[in-house]
Structure 1
Amino acid sequence: MMQATSEQHDEYAAAISSQIKPHKGPSKPRMFKRSIKILPSKAEVRYLPPGHMRDYWLQMNVLRDGQPPISFAQFWRVWSSEFTHLKFRQESQHAQCNECIRHKMLIKEFSSHLLARREQVRLYTEHLKAQYVDRRCYWASRGLSRMKNGAHICVIIDSMDQGKTSIPRSDLTRAKDLSTLQKPKCHLTAVIVHGWFIMMCLSDADLPKNSSVMIEIMCHVLSRLQQQSCCLAQHHLHIQCDNTPREMKNNPFMKWMAAMTGQGVLRECSLQQLRSGHSHEDIDQVFGGLATFLASKGRQAQTPDDLMAVIQNFLQDYKRPYEAGRVVLKLDGARDWCLGDRMLKCCCLIVYACGH
């Protein structure tokens, strides 16, 4: 090709360029939905549990005792025009509530029995009201803790899915030869002390995840509160946790709470759990953001220290205006908290060590 010459005009490139549409700028917001005018809403987007608009229409008609029912067309028209900030979440992979699934299946099966279907909708609505009342108890204590009025401290504690914290993370682990190897999975426990700080504790895979570890973490939380000039003896400690019996919903943790109250470290202490299947709260939202951050920024984390660095970077930019403190710790071990007098003595020594 010594005598090859370049073409001055490429007809194929010109034809492709002519088919590309020019950029017209940002799209305008939608004003109509099937001839229904959408009113502008400045409210924050709120996400509802996975479901359908028809479920809420049935519940609303059940609550209208003695009044004529509202047609679905009118309900859809008002929803589409004035409640555009309400969105339905996608189906989740987590286990759902047993009662919710049972009521939904019965409502579907009773499609030709109006009275039985109406009764099942009423029972399902009462169940949703009951779990909402449980959440309001937690929200009330959370609001009191954020006010810092000197009487209440609300703490929520939970552990992240171990599949998100497996190590080592590298491009080499994607190879076919290494795909069958079992990776060690670190344990990550997060504590949100509302109005004070967020603390995350990372431990190795061989450290037991039991009540002794949770008691150790809570003792460290109380010590940090004392360092921030918080008089624990004048506060009521509200602890919100998951309903897993092996971690906090057991006798060792209850005896620790009794020891803290009996020795005068805390004025009062209470332990609360939401219903099974309805236990997801704001701490699970933190875990969701951290999982996304680990998937993008933690691809080369090969040791627990590398994971701690990624978690620290995540917490620095995480927006929680009420909790200004950010703490990331490595939990190397935990005491074997006994159920007798040794446990009471250890509780007093650890908590009072910071003050004296």
Structure 2
Amino acid sequence: AMCFPRHFRVGECDGVCIMACAVAMGISETTFSNARRDVTGDRARHAGRSKVRQGRRSKEDECLDAWIRLQREGMEGDKQTGRRWYYGKLSEKELWKRYSADRDRAQQPLVGTAKKLWKLWKSHAEILERPPCGQDACNFCSANLSQRDKLTGLENDPVARARIAELDAEKTAHTKFNNAERENYTDAVALAEHRPHEMTCLTIDAPTRHQFDLPSQARSQRDKAKKLDPQNRWQSKVEGVLDAGVGMMAYVARSCIGGGPNLVCTVLMLALFCHHKLGRVLGHVLHLQLDNTTSENKCVCVIGLLGLLVHRGHFLQCRIFFLHVGHTYNDLDQTFSPLITEMLQKAMPTISALLTYLLTKLAVQRVREVRDLPHLWDFDGLLLKHIDLKGGFAHARAHARLRLRAH
């Protein structure tokens, strides 16, 4: 057998390979190449194959990157220099779902993969993902949906099928519980509309923070004033009150005058004053529907104010009602959603322009009052020194309702 010892070396680089062996045996390079033609065929060499593969990757990257740049058209940020853009926080699955929907609407085939799109999305350092500053989603619904998605496609497995049935039963019971709580609210609204002497129902809620920061411009504009978006702007909060059977009130509070329970209590009293000024009788029971937040609504100050209203004889009973976290959607949210969407397409330079816009757009909701609050009443200083919490409060469900009766 013809072979080489281990100490044999060819060339200056000390390389030992089958090509060097063939040359040492007297076989020409052409003969050696022809002998391997059945293996290589018409394929290009390694450099050529890499070039083709790189070109294919670049084509997919260009398509995905163009889609990402297109998404920036509707984002908040400095569109003049393109240095900073703000967008809601997305998961890899949500991003791919949005991309797939856009391609389907354009009747174009999908290009690339979810991982490649996610990698390119993260490589755009100018896009700053901002998590939502509104209320959290329902923890039960999120966990139930996550576990249900993991079992998709395993319906033929008896164990998985039993688990799916268990999750569906838990979801049905959860939905039934939330629907029962919502029926309590709708019944109070109906009673306040048809029997105002028995019930007065107020719903107080506010949109998500930063939605009404001024000055603001339409997102579609491309001028230098767009540089205002990433800057610190005049922060304002719009607190809406829906009085069942009467109409809607909106109050604009600047961040410099404060917020929290003082804002909620101030708005509540102003809404009751407006209710009385319009000639509407106060009912025996006040039903107060609030957002399920601890810092502003589920606090001693709000409860103390309702106790004061009962103590002074304005109502025989006051009820605070909180829907379950993640299921607090109400009529005010339904009003604010199109209001904010249309506002993003308009220029809003001053507080006067914002008040005029609210008066115009809320006319269909029978708006009764739109005011810019110059200050807030200090209910914390007024009430907290007279409240003793040693006994606590008696209530059936902390997130559902708390009643105060006159004795």
TM-score (norm 1): 0.63
Report the alpha carbon displacement of residue 161 of structure 1 after superposing the two structures with TM.
2.0
* Mapping 1:30-69, distance limit 5 Å: none
Name structure 1 gaps, 5 residues minimum.
1-92, 345-356
- 1:176 Cα deviation after fit: 6.6
Counterpart residue identity of residue 177, structure 2: A
For 1:181, the equivalent position in structure 2 comes to 231
Q: Does the CA-based 8 Å contact 1:152-1:238 persist in structure 2?
A: yes
How far apart are the structure 2 equivalents of 1:109 and 1:176? 43
Q: Residues 101 and 158 from structure 1, CA distance in 2 versus in 1: closer, same or farther, beyond 3 angstroms?
A: same
Q: Tell me by how many angstroms 1:326 deviates.
A: 2.5
Which digits, 9 at most, give the CA deviation of each residue in 1:298-330, with x for residues without a partner?
41x2111111111111112x2x4xxx4531111
* Residue 295 in structure 1 maps to residue 335 in structure 2: no
- Partner residue in 2 for 1:215: 265
Partner SS, residue 277 of structure 1: coil
Alignment of structure 1 residues 169-208 onto 2, 5 Å: 169-170=216-217, 174-175=224-225, 178-208=228-258
Q: Which residue of 2 aligns with 1:348?
A: none
Alpha-carbon distance in structure 1 between the residues aligned to 2:241 and 2:259 = 15
Q: CA offsets, 1:28-59, max 9 Å, x none?
A: xxxxxxxxxxxxxxxxxxxxxxxxxxxxxxxx
Distance 2:230 2:149 in 1: 43
Q: Distance in 1 between matches of 2:325 and 2:243?
A: 23
Following superposition, which runs of at least 4 residues in structure 1 exceed 4 angstroms of deviation? Answer: 170-179, 339-344
Question: Pick from 145, 155, 166: which aligns with 1:104?
Answer: 145
| Local SS of the residue matching 2:233 | coil
Could you list the per-position Cα deviations for residues 73-95 of structure 1 after superposition, in whole angstroms to 9, with x for gaps in the alignment?
xxxxxxxxxxxxxxxxxxxx774
Please name the residue that 2:377 is paired with: 335
Q: How well do the aligned residues superpose, as a CA RMSD in angstroms?
A: 2.3
Distance 1:157 1:231 in 2: 19
Query: Is the CA contact 1:252–1:339 (under 8 Å) kept in the aligned structure 2?
Result: no
Question: Which residue number in structure 1 is paired with residue 167 of structure 2?
Answer: 120
Partner residue of 1:236? 285
Say if 1:266 and 1:129 are closer, same or farther in 2 by CA, change over 3 A.
Answer: same
Corresponding residue to 2:275 among 221, 225, 234? 225
SS of aligned partner of 1:108: helix
Question: In structure 2, what is the Cα distance between the partners aligned to 1:177 and 1:315?
Answer: 30
| Aligned residue number for residue 334 of structure 2 | 285
Superposition map of 1:137-176 within 5 A: 137-170=184-217, 174-175=224-225
Shift of 1:166: 1.5
267 and 185 in structure 1: CA distance in 2 versus 1, 3 angstrom threshold: same
Equivalent AA in structure 2 for residue 193 of structure 1 = D
- Tell me, in whole angstroms, the C-alpha distance in 2 between the residues paired with 1:292 and 1:237: 33
Q: Aligned partners of 1:308 and 1:176: how far apart in 2? A: 22
TM-score, with length taken from structure 2? 0.56
Tell me the equivalent position of 2:313: 264
Partner deviation per Cα, 1:116-154 (whole Å, 9 max, x = no partner) = 221121111101111111111111111111113420111
Alpha-carbon shift at residue 106 of structure 1 (Å): 2.2
CA distance in 1 between partners of 2:257 and 2:245 (Å): 30
Q: Please state how far the C-alpha of 1:179 moved relative to its aligned partner.
A: 4.8
Q: Give deviations 1:250-305, integer Å, cap 9, x for gaps.
A: 00000110110011011211000110111111110100121123123x41x21111
Look up the match of 1:57.
none
Q: Is contact 1:160-1:188 (8 Å) kept?
A: yes
2:31 aligned partner: none
Q: Aligned pair in 2 of structure 1 residues 172, 303: CA closer, same or farther (>3 Å)? A: farther
Count of residues paired in the alignment: 244
176 and 311 in structure 1: CA distance in 2 versus 1, 3 angstrom threshold:
closer
Is the Cα–Cα contact under 8 Å of residues 196 and 281 in structure 2 kept in the other structure?
Answer: no
Percent sequence identity is 20
Partner of 2:297: 248
Distance of aligned partners of 1:331 and 1:277 in 2 relative to their CA distance in 1, 3 Å threshold:
same
With over 3 angstroms needed to count, the CA separation of the structure-2 counterparts of 1:174 and 1:96, relative to structure 1, is farther
Aligned to 1:309: 356
Whichever residue aligns with residue 231 of structure 2, its letter is: L
Per-residue displacement from partner, 1:187-227 (whole Å, max 9, x unpaired)?
A: 10000001002000012132211101111111111112222
User: Could you tell me how far apart the structure 2 residues matched to 1:310 and 1:343 are?
Assistant: 40
Matches of 1:343 and 1:211 in 2, distance apart?
Answer: 15
Secondary structure at 2:320's aligned position in 1?
strand
Distance 1:256 1:103 in 2: 38
Mapped contact 2:202–2:287 kept (Cα < 8 A): yes
Query: If you compute each CA radius of gyration, which structure gives the higher value, 1 or 2?
Result: 2
